[in-house]
């Protein structure tokens, strides 16, 4: 086996923000992979607010911020670390472009920077796009000189780089790695040979450069050009080593791909074959197997059936891979490994708290737990069970206990009278879910809209959820679902029947009532409302800000349920093993016959994971 699994930590736990290169991760340590995902991958999210592009779409290539370039560098080195190759690669802003005497004339000036050329090429890509026909003559590694914005340096950058249409920055790096073909905006003939991925993971590469423009609509989408060619001085010679994607060990399922690959310097995969088995030992029927030496190191690529192209899991899902028949000097003739796809938001380490099930109101109780491996911090959540009925109404915004997951261009709580002729749901205000726009540049589609009840609900026998609603302008392609989670939001199940739009031209004249049974659970559940679009036209707030688009909800309540009211959260060191419960640490006086709950939360990679199982405690005299 040529690919080792580094044992060093991916960062210094507790030190944030993280760097942009020099990472390592123990792929055989599930908690280390979880922490690596949250500390490093997630650190480059939100890049759209940091790009600070200074250009325009009439010819000014512009520049991007140093923080944004750092986001790209961090995302690139995240994937390199996860794949076991050197992670000191720079996304440089001062490296001269690569000149090849075989390139067509005229040559760009040798002192031109890679980043400058890439920025020029990124703008050229979008300026030649015709949204009416969907055609773009600039989408080639040999763009003709009659294109808008063409220049020798722009030609050089696309000839020697990866390019993405419809994605930019760290988002483009993700697409290069997954080699998505779900959209004509991001696919190319190189996808099924994973050429972009192989350049990104080239073990000998040390200097990249990025060119980006953020786009402004579906008609002027974002673009990226990642300069991947290396000058002789930028090559860091490496011994032959297998580089697999997805990588051996624990691997975040979000990064899974339709195309799996194995590459190696000096390898000959001409006669190599691939066998892949699922966790039950059943052979996975591959769609196609390809071999190629055109991009980076030689590689064998296999295309998965739909059943293995999974992007979400709750339980860890493993696949065994065996590649045999490899040849080449110093290269083993076979390579076998296991990939375990994981949900990076699910912590499997026990967070159980042990101790007495009853506690005297005038005494203290000692409770113990085993800190999960690698924990940067721990929290004990002390909550009291309450049977007090509540109703989530939109009338007084400051009293609302919800988590808003809606777009920034409209408020979650609205006065329905603002929409002339629409009428009320119950009172003057309601919760509104509508689509903010018909095309979001980051999700490349219509974004789901959500709000979550900020309550931990204990469902008893016969527990139900009810609320009032009115559909505004809500097409048949628009759906509201109510979902419940007993896993702190890691997984969700649908509650009751979805509410679907019934007319493309009318809104509800009357108020309707929703009622559905809540799923039985030994743990407290969370409830959220999610509004999403399927294929078809939708109404958006952007297009009709003065019209009642979407759906309006009010008077949300549960029946035959209790609530866990959090009274205090105590933060402990990551190596803590015990907690003392008394009136001070509970955050309230302990009273005879009260029922309390203790739950443990763990911090990994600067992220607090959902709390573990409840330790129920009854207060005695």
Residues 339-359 have pLDDT tens digits of 999 999 999 999 999 999 999
User: Taking CA 260 as the corner, what is the angle to CA 8 and CA 166, rounded to the nearest 5 degrees?
Assistant: 95
Is residue 510 over pLDDT 80? yes
* Residue 617 in tokens: 């405690």
How many Å apart are CA 607 and CA 192, to the nearest integer? Answer: 35
Residue-level pLDDT at 13: 62
Phi, psi of 336 (to 5 degrees): -125, 140
Region 62-75: mean pLDDT is: 98
Residue-level pLDDT at 189: 62
* Residue 227 in tokens: 């300069």
Is residue 484 over pLDDT 80? yes
User: Which among 338, 292, 297 is positioned nearest to 1, based on CA atoms?
Assistant: 338
Paired with 466 in beta bridges are: 515, 557
User: Which among 212, 55, 63 is positioned nearest to 125, based on CA atoms?
Assistant: 212
User: Which among 369, 331, 341 is positioned nearest to 353, based on CA atoms?
Assistant: 369
Is residue 3 over pLDDT 50? no
Residue-level pLDDT at 42: 97
Identify whether the C-beta of residue 212 lies closer than 8 Å to the C-beta of residue 223: yes
How many Å apart are CA 326 and CA 400, to the nearest integer? Answer: 63
Is residue 186 over pLDDT 70? no
Which band of pLDDT confidence, cut at 50, 70 and 90, is reported for residue 527?
very high
Residue-level pLDDT at 102: 81
Identify whether the C-beta of residue 605 lies closer than 8 Å to the C-beta of residue 23: no
What domains lie within the chain, and their CATH numbers?
30-234 (no CATH), 243-342 (2.60.40.1220), 358-387+563-620 (2.60.40.10), 397-546 (2.60.120)
Residue-level pLDDT at 15: 74
H runs (alpha helix) in 191-338: 195-200
Residue 291 burial class via C-beta count within 10 angstroms: exposed 0-12, middle 13-18, buried 19 and up: middle
User: Which among 72, 612, 96 is positioned nearest to 378, based on CA atoms?
Assistant: 612
Paired with 135 in beta bridges are: 130
H runs (alpha helix) in 8-104: 30-36, 66-82
Residue-level pLDDT at 471: 97
Residue-level pLDDT at 105: 59
Residue-level pLDDT at 104: 73
Please report how many Cα atoms fall inside a 13 Å half-sphere around the Cα of residue 467, on the Cβ side. 27
Which band of pLDDT confidence, cut at 50, 70 and 90, is reported for residue 7?
very low
How many Å apart are CA 176 and CA 193, to the nearest integer? Answer: 11
Residue-level pLDDT at 313: 97
Least confident of 165-169, 188-192, 296-300, 432-436: 188-192
Count other Cβ atoms within 10 Å, centred on residue 429.
Answer: 23
Whether a cis peptide bond, with omega within 30° of 0, leads into 106 is yes
* Residue 282 CA, distance from chain mean position: 30
Region 558-579: mean pLDDT is: 97
Q: What is the mean pLDDT of the chain?
A: 94
Region 279-288: mean pLDDT is: 96
Is residue 1 over pLDDT 50? no
DSSP character at residue 215: -
H runs (alpha helix) in 85-212: 114-127, 152-159, 169-178, 195-200
Paired with 573 in beta bridges are: 377
- Tokens 């890691």 belong to 490
Is residue 114 over pLDDT 50? yes
How many Å apart are CA 491 and CA 509, to the nearest integer? Answer: 35
Is residue 282 over pLDDT 90? yes
pLDDT in tens, 359-388: 999 899 999 999 999 999 999 999 999 999
Count other Cβ atoms within 10 Å, centred on residue 390.
Answer: 15
Host H or E run for residue 586: helix 583-586
* Residue 418 CA, distance from chain mean position: 36
What region does 153 belong to: left with phi over 0, alpha with psi -120 to 50, or beta?
alpha
Identify whether the C-beta of residue 495 lies closer than 8 Å to the C-beta of residue 518: yes
User: Taking CA 187 as the corner, what is the angle to CA 542 and CA 476, rounded to the nearest 5 degrees?
Assistant: 35
Is residue 10 over pLDDT 70? no
What region does 134 belong to: left with phi over 0, alpha with psi -120 to 50, or beta?
left
What region does 214 belong to: left with phi over 0, alpha with psi -120 to 50, or beta?
alpha
Q: What is the pTM of this model?
A: 0.94
User: Which among 165, 166, 170, 168 is positioned nearest to 143, based on CA atoms?
Assistant: 165
What region does 395 belong to: left with phi over 0, alpha with psi -120 to 50, or beta?
alpha
End-to-end CA separation in angstroms for the chain: 64
């Amino acid at each position: 086996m040529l690919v080792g699994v580094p044992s060093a930590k991916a960062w210094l736990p507790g030190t944030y923000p993280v760097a942009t290169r020099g990472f390592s991760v123990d792929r055989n340590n599930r908690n280390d992979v979880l922490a690596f995902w949250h500390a490093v991958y997630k650190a480059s999210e939100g890049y759209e607010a940091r790009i600070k592009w200074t250009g325009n779409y009439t010819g000014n290539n512009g520049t991007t911020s140093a923080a944004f370039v750092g986001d790209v560098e961090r995302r690139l080195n995240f994937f390199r670390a996860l794949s076991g190759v050197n992670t000191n690669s720079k996304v440089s802003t001062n490296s001269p472009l690569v000149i090849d005497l075989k390139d067509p004339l005229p040559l760009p000036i040798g002192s031109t920077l890679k980043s400058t050329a890439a920025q020029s090429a990124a703008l050229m890509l979008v300026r030649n796009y015709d949204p009416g026909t969907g055609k773009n003559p600039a989408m080639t590694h040999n763009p003709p000189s009659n294109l808008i914005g063409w220049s020798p340096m722009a030609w050089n950058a696309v000839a020697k780089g990866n390019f993405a249409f419809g994605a930019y920055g760290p988002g483009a790096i993700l697409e290069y790695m997954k080699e998505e073909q779900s959209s004509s905006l991001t696919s190319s003939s190189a996808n099924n040979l994973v050429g972009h991925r192989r350049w990104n993971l080239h073990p000998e590469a040390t200097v990249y450069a990025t060119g980006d423009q953020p786009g402004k609509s579906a008609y002027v989408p974002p673009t990226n050009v990642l300069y991947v060619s290396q000058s002789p001085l930028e090559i860091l010679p490496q011994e032959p080593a297998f580089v697999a994607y997805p990588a051996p060990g624990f691997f975040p399922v979000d990064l899974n791909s339709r195309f799996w690959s194995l590459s190696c310097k000096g390898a000959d995969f001409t006669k190599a074959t691939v066998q892949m088995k699922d966790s039950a030992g059943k052979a996975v029927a591959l769609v196609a197997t390809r071999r190629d030496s055109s991009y980076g190191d030689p590689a064998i690529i296999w295309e998965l059936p739909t059943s293995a192209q999974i992007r979400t899991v709750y339980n860890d899902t493993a696949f065994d891979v065996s590649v045999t028949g490899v040849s080449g000097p110093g290269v083993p003739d076979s390579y076998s490994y296991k990939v375990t796809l994981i949900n990076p938001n699910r912590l499997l380490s026990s967070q159980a708290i042990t101790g007495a099930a009853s506690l005297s109101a005038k005494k203290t109780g000692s409770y113990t737990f085993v800190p999960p491996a690698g924990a940067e911090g721990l929290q004990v959540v002390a909550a009291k069970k309450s049977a007090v009925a509540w109703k989530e109404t939109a009338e007084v915004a400051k009293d609302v206990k919800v988590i808003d997951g809606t777009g920034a261009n409209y408020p979650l709580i609205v006065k329905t009278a603002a929409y002339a002729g629409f009428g009320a749901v119950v009172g003057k205000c309601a919760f509104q879910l509508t689509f903010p726009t018909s095309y979001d540049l980051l999700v490349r589609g219509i974004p789901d809209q959500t709000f979550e009840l900020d309550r931990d609900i204990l469902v008893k026998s016969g527990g139900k959820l009810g609320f009032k609603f009115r559909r505004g302008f809500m097409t048949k392609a628009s759906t509201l679902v109510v979902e419940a989670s007993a896993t702190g939001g890691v997984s969700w199940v649908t509650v009751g029947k979805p509410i679907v739009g019934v007319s493309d031209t009318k809104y509800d004249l009357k108020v309707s009532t929703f009622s559905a049974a809540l799923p039985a659970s030994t743990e407290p559940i969370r409830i959220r409302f999610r509004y999403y679009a399927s294929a078809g036209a939708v109404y958006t707030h952007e297009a009709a800000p003065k019209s009642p688009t979407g759906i309006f909800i009010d008077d949300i309540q549960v029946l035959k349920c209790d609530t866990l009211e959090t009274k205090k959260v105590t933060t402990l060191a990551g190596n803590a093993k015990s907690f003392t419960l008394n009136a001070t640490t509970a955050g309230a006086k302990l009273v005879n016959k009260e029922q309390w709950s203790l739950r443990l939360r763990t911090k990994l990679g600067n992220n607090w994971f959902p709390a573990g199982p409840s330790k129920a405690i009854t207060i005695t005299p």
